Amino acid sequence: MTSAGVSGIRALSPRTSSLTRDTLEEMAAAQDHRGGGGADVWLGPDVGLARSRPAASPLPDGPAADPSPQPARSVDGRWVVALDGAVRNHVALRAHLDYPFRSRDDAELVVAGLALEGISFVERLQGQFALVAHDLRTDTTHLVRDRIGVLPLHYRHVPGGIAFASEVKALLVLGPRPGVDHRSLDAYLAHRTVPAPDTLFEGVKKVRPAHRVAIMPGGHLEETAYWSPPDTDPDGTWTPDDAIEAVRDGVREAVRSALDPGAPVGINLTGGLASSLLVAQAQQLGGDEPVHTFSPAFGDGAPDELARTGRLSRLLGTRHHDVHLHRPDLDELWGPLTWHRDAPLSGPADLAAHVLARAAGEHVPAILCAQGADELFGGHQRYRLAGVAERSYGLPGLPAPLRSGLGRRVERRLGATFSAPERRRLLGQAPPRDRRSAPSVGVDPVDRMLRHDLRHTLPDDVLERLDRMSTAASLEVRLPLLDHHLVELAFRLPTSVKVRAGCTTWVLREAARPLLPDEVIERRVLEPGAGSWWYAGMRDTVRERLTGPGSWIAQTLDQSLVRDLLLRHEHGGHEQDRIWALVSLEVWHEAFFSDLSETPALPRPRGAARPVAASTAHLS
């Protein structure tokens, strides 16, 4: 996806003073790392749009700078569009639109479709995108996000209007400084992220994946869902062999569409099944040149990790690059990357994604990542507990303390950072009822959990991390396994071909057999955690951050539980993931609420001298 941040303001009052070219340029500058080639601004009656221009790649075979400035205007003068991302089915759509195209730019394709078919045309778009479309005839501004939520889009009420932008930081240049949304803290403490449409910033909302939000002339907002994954096909529709063949074909076509003929490409090789399959397909489809692969290694575990991925690279015949992430990288990057993410870093995987993207950008203009495979084909170990999880919360006849204890243990095994009783103790209150996600509808517990993860876990955590960390390194990332057609195929398939005889991602494993050696297919890769490598050199900093007199965490959360957590970890309790969540929340609070005029520095003891903040430009 070629990144190019979008932003703008919808004025709802003739006295709105923020709707100026200078303000729009300032919003665009706040997220210039999403493009790097400057910004184009369009200023109309009661609305203004800005879009960052992509910079030309420094690599000889990389993409040129965007030749078609945006925002784009339809020939009838009715529609104006600012687009971030790419429309993958642009060739098919152009062939069916009777429109005097002047370029091959995707934004012109969108305004053409809007001019001919109205706002419902966005339902025909396939790809990874976020866009703003203003209809001058009806004076309505539409905010639209792709089906899966690969690219971000936020909005916020400001005095006299509504501002919108790809990233939160662009919304902070106008209006009063927002506060912390304390009603979102329970969700963060549960899973280290906040599900859409909420954020940790009070009043700042995310457009949900597969939704469009219309800002009406009077300021009323109308939210419309335009897509949802299909229902699982009826029993007997799929034989295992049919499912294997369909997945094999679907993965091959998804990878083919993600490759640019003749251009080098990189792949994040994690050592797992899905990334190995991407490599094998890309090698088969991409020509004679070997694929570049990149593998991150964390702290002290680097030798073992690199030995495994190095052997895999030799088996697959790639041009391999090891990427190291050490604790000094944590010191250097934690603060600045928190600013890039607009949220607490959910784990060392955030830093690894950025360091890997930065390294890959020295060799290739784009990198393929295998995100989505687990959420489509049942790869996480927690899917094996889906039935137990549903039963544990409603078992009849059990005494309440026993039922509560069982639910707490299951909740933790399903990945909750803090259990519901712990969150209630930390915050001193129960979670807001209006912030509880509606349960997903599906044919069985695994199907329901997969649909929940597609709706929340992927866009609000995994894809948010990948987008922010890659744009901070000015690298294009493509996600072939989240191709629209492959996603729909995956949800039509029954659970019996995903989690089968205790084996996760069964159908994907079987589809990969003609392309990968058995040792790769049968190997089980442990799901990554934060590990303890990062903690050793930060013990005093962590304690000061979480319990010191200037700590926001100390002022906001129950200190007895926080101190117990630190004590348990010091005595071998392996609480590093939970400690990370709290320290990361503290770093986020300092980044956005202590001084918005400077990029945040590394986490440190508050008594230490403050170093010069790292420049965002150094991350590009």
DSSP calls for 319-367: EEEEEEE-HHHHHHHHHHHHHHHTS---SHHHHHHHHHHHHHTTT-SEE
Contact 207, 154 (CB under 8 A): yes
Q: Sign of dihedral through CA atoms 507, 509, 513, 514? A: positive
Task: Report CA Rg, the chain.
Answer: 24
Burial of 59 (0-12, 13-18, 19+ CB in 10 A): middle
Tell me the helices (H) and strands (E) count for the chain, helix number first: 22, 17
Neighbours of 236 (CB within 10 A): 7
DSSP calls for 97-121: ------S--HHHHHHHHHHHH-GGG
Dihedral, CA of residue 77, residue 82, residue 86 and residue 92, to nearest 10: -10
The tally of CA atoms less than 13 A away on the side-chain side of residue 499 is 21
**What is residue 201's DSSP assignment?**
B
544: its two tokens: 């000061």
Separation between Cα atoms, residue 301 and residue 115, nearest integer Å = 56
Q: Which helix (H) or strand (E) holds 292?
A: strand 292-298
First to last CA, the chain: 17
| 569-574-576 Cα angle (round to 5) | 80
Q: Any binding-site annotation on 453?
A: no
Could you tell me which residues come within 8 angstroms of residue 571 by beta carbon, excluding any fewer than 6 positions away?
none
**What is residue 165's DSSP assignment?**
E
Quote the strand ranges of 137-246, DSSP E.
140-145, 154-158, 161-165, 204-206, 211-215, 221-225
Q: What is the layout of strands, in order, in the sheet containing 127-135?
A: 72-73, 79-87, 127-135, 140-145, 211-215, 221-225
Residues in the chain: 620
List binding-site positions.
106
List binding-site positions for L-glutamine.
106
